[in-house]
Amino acid sequence: MGRLIVVSNRLPMTLRRTRDGWRAERSTGGLATAMMPVMRRNNGLWVGWPGETPPAVDARRQELLDRWARRERLIAVDLAPEVARGFYEGFANQTLWPLFHFFPSHVTFDPVSWDSYVAANTRFMQVLLTRIEKDDLIWIHDYHLMLLPQLLRESLPDIRIGFFLHIPFPASEVFRVLPRREELLRGLLGTDCLAFQTHSHLQNLRSSLLRVLGLSSRMDCVQYGGRTIRLEALPIGIAPEEFSGLLDSDPETDRRLKELRQRFAGRRLLLAVDRVDFTKGIPERLRAYRRLLERSPDLRGKVVLVQVAVPSRSGVPVYENLRHEVNELIGALNGDFGTPDWTPVVYIRRAISRAELVALYAASDVGWVAPLRDGMNLVSKEYVACQRDGNGVLVLSEFAGAAAEMGEALLVNPYDEERTAATIEKALDQPIEERRERMGALRRRVLRNNAFTWADRFLTLLREAAAGRVTGPVERPQTLPIERAIESFHQARERWIFLDYDGTLVPFAGHPRTAWPTDALIRQIEELSRSERQHVALLSGRSREELSSWFGGVKGLCLVAEHGAALRTADGDWESLRPSGPIDWKERVRPVLEHFGDRTPGSVIEEKEFSLVWHYRMSDPEFGEWLANELGSTLEEMLAETELHAVRGKKYVEVKLAWANKAEAALRLAEKWPPAEFRLAMGDDGSDEELFDHLGEDAWTVRIGVEPSRARYRLLSPEDALSFIQRLIHMQAVLPVT
Ligand code: ADQ
């Protein structure tokens, strides 16, 4: 089965330096509670940062860490203090955190922090490499470690890796603001299974993959680097017993609950529990509460808001300002509305014990959870777990991930303070039957979709995803074994070489007219075509005029234009693959393409001798894909039973003669060539697939890029293709086969 290795920024225990030496504190967070039993059940390890690392080795501390590794199976990743600062306080919390919560205005980007982020992820990888065994399952958590999956994959290509993002994944418009966005996405694509709190976060990732890396995906998976990565929305749960269990058996909780009931008798209790963070909407809540007291004077003296807020990330200016703002708002509320026997806001500015928290959850009439943006928000679920009599009402922000599965709550837009106040009033007036019904439904879901079922589901998905890769049919295409290919080239007396142009020899340009071949590329093709034993053809979707103007002067080179409609033999004469039929079809098809072109800024229509093409590479990628689908189905209907057909290529839709294809053209050329032991075809899109099929299993068929293909091998980019060709040229020059 393999062990489970949990990896997160913090270990579930933290070492703190006190006056009496180092002290270990156990984390009570939801992640630790959920993962510890799962980890133990899977014979696991937990790898993470143990807290402040002293500049010099401290023997006592090291002894403690060694004991953690032996007894608790917790493996510490020590980070040099300046790396830890730049990584955690810097890039993770001042760049990724605000950006992923849709606050681009709070983002600071500092290249030095980025370097620390890379260094910290690399350090995690190094520690993991000393521990990982072949069958282990690696489960990486959260935004601090987004580069780690790919770093591990590079060292251990077969290892099973899953990743869960606890915070939101932002809309691609926001994500694109990030200076190092490509690296982060590629980092995540090192996984086998990538999961998010909600479908909307998952959709945002898919949109970023398309816009940033040009990578299309399906709802449930994406292909990258020859692997299939499973994509999932998997909302995290809590360990409900850890909360509601205290109401049965903990005397301390019982005592506190009685105290609260006594103290607030005759008053309705509104409860808010947050870390002090700008994403949590604390000032907005306080202003909405003020509106409530202003618009409903009869509530004065009858309600109390208990705001529990743990300070966090002190030292960061945005957080300092927030703390001042919260202090002022609370001061003003209590000053303006308070009376000698009524304080409108009770402010608890520290972490409270579990017993105190559970008592507050159970005693409150309204759980007021109002983040401006939150991955999930566990407080909402903890409140529901503790509402056993079902009398309370959950008021929940529609911007918390939890809103996606807690439809029975009263949902609010926390930015709309007026209507939030009205909703709180409604919550206080809600009839008891309705409250019980809603809370009952919420509770059943919170108890069922708990942290344990969440972790089990994730691990099952990860195992399945990796099993498809590890035990499935041999992955096709495989990475081209370059040395073997060169050796086979070297041994052969005769060689056939078929090369596609766009996307294979040159990267795609926005407009088809701008992808000129460089002089160096033309020279390379010349050299390749020089040897009499080599028969080289360039097969492209381009027009014969373009191909002639670029490669017309290359001696010995055969050209195939318009995906096979026209060809030029090595003697230099152009011919059509078949006698050309009537071309009045263009008059019927062009208006359709123009109609789509007019709706899609940045798209262009290209007319070739035998085809019409709508290119949308420079258009908005999502809109372009969507319209391309629509155009495809319109054309399919229109062209049924004609000799034309519509083809979806990379960022284009082409209408062409059905008989024009590269395979037929290539074989027509090869009729004049002697049989060859070495046959190579390289191409990057659907138009090359027929040729791959035709050449069969003993040819070197190579797909350029990451998409699935019927080719035997793949290379990732035109750059790789050119350097492979250069190796072939080198081989023919240095060691001519005689
Ligand atoms: P957080 O941003 O930390 O978590 P949240 O899900 O609300 O947010 O969890 C906070 C935890 O801290 C809760 O368990 C709560 O009980 C506890 N807590 C808060 N204030 C406290 C106080 N004053 N005293 C004691 N305990 C307190 C991140 C994401 C979330 C996501 C979780 C889990 O930002 O969106 O739900 O991870 O995936």
Residue from 201, 242, 276, 377 to probe ligand 1 pocket by mutation (most atoms less than 8 Å from CB): 377
pLDDT exceeds cutoff 60 at 183? yes
What's the Rg (C-alpha) of the chain?
Answer: 32
Regarding the beta carbon of 281 and ligand 1, being less than 6 Å apart is answered: no
226 φψ region: left (φ > 0), alpha (ψ -120 to 50), beta (else): left
Note if the bond before 50 is cis, omega within 30 degrees. Answer: no
Whose Cα sits closest to atom 19 in ligand 1? Answer: 274
Q: Please give the distance of CA 96 from its chain centroid, rounded to a whole number.
A: 13
The CA 76 to ligand 1 mean position distance, Å, reads 23
Q: Check whether 471 has a pLDDT greater than 70.
A: no
Q: Is the pLDDT of residue 473 over 50?
A: no
Pocket test for ligand 1, best of 93, 169, 275 (most atoms within 8 A of CB): 275
Residue nearest to atom 37 of ligand 1 (CA): 166
- Cα distances from 245 to residues 362, 406, 735, in angstroms, run 12, 22, 78
For residue 258, give both structure tokens.
């009685």
**Gap between the Cα atoms of 126 and 118, Å rounded:** 12
Q: Give the C-alpha separation, 550 to 542, whole Å.
A: 11
**Range 643-665 average pLDDT:** 86
Mean pLDDT of 704-730: 92
Q: Tell me the catalytic residues.
A: 500
Is 274 within 8 Å of 282 (Cβ atoms)? yes
333 sits in the region (left: phi over 0; alpha: psi -120 to 50; else beta) called alpha
pTM, 2 dp: 0.75
Alpha carbon of residue 466 to chain centroid: 18
Cross-strand partners of 366: 270, 393
Which uninterrupted H or E stretch holds 224?
strand 221-224
Instruction: Give the tokens for residue 363.
Output: 């005693």
The phi-psi region of residue 188 (left if phi > 0; otherwise alpha if psi is between -120 and 50; otherwise beta) is: alpha
Q: In degrees to the nearest 10, what's the CA dihedral of 476, 480, 485, 487?
A: -120
| Residue 597 pLDDT class (50, 70, 90 cuts) | confident
pLDDT at position 470 over 60: no
Measuring from atom 21 of ligand 1, which residue has the nearest CA? 351
pLDDT above 90 coverage of the chain, percent: 69
Average the pLDDT over 80-85 and give the result. Answer: 93
Instruction: Examine the pLDDT at 216 and tell me if it is beyond 80.
Output: yes
**Distance of alpha carbon 277 from the chain centroid:** 24
Span 478-578+660-734: which CATH code?
3.40.50.1000
> Which runs of E-coded beta strand occur in 71-159?
74-76, 137-141
pLDDT tens digit sequence for 250-281: 999 999 999 999 999 999 999 999 999 999 99
Give residue 608's pLDDT: 86
Distances (CA, A) of 275 to 15, 85, 348, 377, 520: 21, 20, 11, 11, 59
The protein residue whose alpha carbon is closest to atom 8 in ligand 1 is 377
How remote is the C-alpha of 171 from its chain's centroid?
11
CA 218 and chain centroid, separation:
13
For residues 469 and 459, give the distance between their C-alpha atoms in angstroms, rounded to a whole number: 15
C-alpha 394 – ligand 1 centre gap (Å):
16
Cβ of 30 less than 6 Å from ligand 1: yes
In eight-state DSSP terms, residue 674 is: P
Return the ligand 1 atom nearest residue 400 CA: 35
For the domain 4-233, what is the CATH code? 3.40.50.2000
Q: Is 375 in the pocket of ligand 1 (CB under 6 A)?
A: yes
Structure tokens at 191: 């996984």
The domain locations on the chain are 4-233, 241-449, 478-578+660-734, 585-657
Residue of 198, 379, 380 to test ligand 1 pocket, by largest number of atoms within 8 Å of CB:
379
Q: Return d(Cα 121, Cα 146) in angstroms, integer.
A: 8
Residue from 142, 273, 350, 396 whose mutation best tests the ligand 1 pocket (most atoms within 8 A of CB): 273
Tokens of 591: 């208006």
> Closest ligand 1 atom to the C-alpha of 382?
16
pLDDT of residue 359: 98
Closest alpha carbon to 370 in 336, 340, 414, 330: 414
Superfamily grouping for domain 585-657: Trehalose-6-phosphate phosphatase related protein; domain 2 (3.30.70.1020)
Burial of 473 (0-12, 13-18, 19+ CB in 10 A): exposed
Q: What pLDDT score was predicted for residue 571?
A: 81
Alpha helices, H only, 235-377: 241-249, 251-263, 282-295, 317-337, 354-363
Per residue in 539-573, pLDDT (tens digit) is 999 999 999 999 999 999 999 999 898 999 888 88
Residue nearest to atom 35 of ligand 1 (CA): 375
Atom of ligand 1 at shortest range from CA of 375: 35
Q: Which CATH superfamily is domain 241-449 in?
A: Glycogen Phosphorylase B; (3.40.50.2000)
Token code pair at residue 184 = 């982060």
Residues 713-721: what's their mean pLDDT? Answer: 94
Does 369 sit in the ligand 1 pocket, CB within 6 Å?
no
**Residues in CB range of 78: below 8 A, 6 or more apart:** 49, 50, 53
Q: What is the pLDDT of residue 580?
A: 65
Cross-strand bridge partners of residue 535: 496
Instruction: Check for a shared fold between 478-578+660-734 and 585-657.
Output: no
The predicted structure's pLDDT at residue 185: 98
From first CA to last CA, the distance across the chain in angstroms is 55
Give the closest residue (by CA) to ligand 1 atom 28: 166
Banded model confidence at residue 472, pLDDT cuts 50, 70, 90: very low
pLDDT, residue 475, reads 59
Q: What is the pLDDT of residues 17-73, one digit of tens each?
A: 888 888 888 876 667 877 887 888 888 999 999 988 887 888 889 999 999 999 989
Is residue 377 lining ligand 1, measured as CB closer than 6 Å? yes
